[in-house]
Amino acid sequence: MPIVKLKDKTQHFQFDEAIKMLRTNVEFAGENVQAVCITSCLPNEGKSSIVARLAESMAQAGKKVVLIDADLRKSVLLGRYIVEGAELKGLSHFLTGQGTISECLCQTDYPTLQMIFSGPDVPNPAELLGGKRFTALIEALRKNYDYVLIDTPPLGSVIDAAIVSRQCDGVALVIASGEVSYKFAQQVKAQLEMSDCKIIGVIMNKVNMESGKGYYGKYYGKYYGRD
């Protein structure tokens, strides 16, 4: 199995605290919330960063976690890791019948955290994610992990996240502060509700805590439970 290491391990206190809060909220969402996907309205709202930190945080708390990069259109997760060892296969290999689940899994620095990267580009991501092999993958992973976390593309651009959410018990919506109109957020929420997956929360990202501070002064995520 290939081994992957995160390139940038910079930690920020406020961000870490917000991630811990998010982890606790996912854990308290109930025992039947095991497969969770994360999406947003627009690109660059922070989905991939947040879901990767959430996965690490869960692993640090002793949970067995698999993180899947289901953004088959603009994958960034792989670029944030250094890969060592065996040949790397990804989700698109599995979905097109070119790899087994175990061939697609990578081991991270955290003993209980494994990852599946997106793999090479495919012409029909939505179709593949809506197919039988994706359903079978999630079913199989559920048996082996406490949590299956899935990164997706923005739902305001493509339908993939709604398709993925059908296989999940919960979906979390990342909203970058000041970047998304209320109306747009409502439209995306309505789209998720149509896929019949519980919205377990909204994560407000890039909240400007104190103006006048540098880049990382903005590093903050806040979690609001839905109920």
Ligand X SMILES: Nc1ncnc2c1ncn2[C@@H]1O[C@H](COP(=O)(O)OP(=O)(O)O)[C@@H](O)[C@H]1O
In the complex, minimum distance from the CB of residue 100 to Mg ion, in angstroms, rounded to a whole number: 26
* Closer by beta carbon to Mg ion, 48 or else 165: 48
Q: What is the per-residue DSSP string for 42-97?
A: STTSSHHHHHHHHHHHHHHTT--EEEEE---SS--TGGGEEEESSPP--HHHHHTT
In the complex, minimum distance from the CB of residue 157 to Mg ion, in angstroms, rounded to a whole number: 11
- What's the one-letter identity of residue 7? K
196: left (phi over 0), alpha (psi -120 to 50) or beta: left
CB 50 within 8 A of CB 174: yes
* Closer by beta carbon to Mg ion, 157 or else 195: 157
- Does 205 sit near Mg ion (CB under 5 A)? no
Dihedral sign from CA coordinates of 120, 113, 205, 188: positive
45 binds, among Mg ion, ligand X, none (CB under 5 to 8 A by kind): ligand X
40 binds, among Mg ion, ligand X, none (CB under 5 to 8 A by kind): ligand X
Residue 120 CB: number of other CB atoms within 10 A?
Answer: 13
CB 152 within 8 A of CB 39: yes
Residue 147 CB: number of other CB atoms within 10 A?
Answer: 23
* Closer by beta carbon to Mg ion, 39 or else 167: 39
Binding site for ligand X (CB under 6 A): 40, 43-49, 76, 205-206, 218-220
* Closer by beta carbon to Mg ion, 43 or else 130: 43
DSSP 8-state secondary structure symbol assigned to residue 170: E
* Closer by beta carbon to ligand X, 99 or else 205: 205
In the complex, minimum distance from the CB of residue 176 to ligand X, in angstroms, rounded to a whole number: 8
118 binds, among ligand X, Mg ion, none (CB under 5 to 8 A by kind): none
- Which residues between 7 and 66 bind Mg ion (CB under 5 A)? 47-48
In the complex, minimum distance from the CB of residue 116 to ligand X, in angstroms, rounded to a whole number: 16
Nearest residue relative to Mg ion (C-beta): 48
* Closer by beta carbon to ligand X, 101 or else 207: 207
From start to end of the chain, where are the E strands? 3-6, 35-40, 65-69, 81-84, 105-107, 113-116, 147-151, 170-176, 198-205, 221-225
In the complex, minimum distance from the CB of residue 214 to ligand X, in angstroms, rounded to a whole number: 10
In the complex, minimum distance from the CB of residue 48 to Mg ion, in angstroms, rounded to a whole number: 3
Residues in contact with Mg ion by CB under 5 A are 47-48
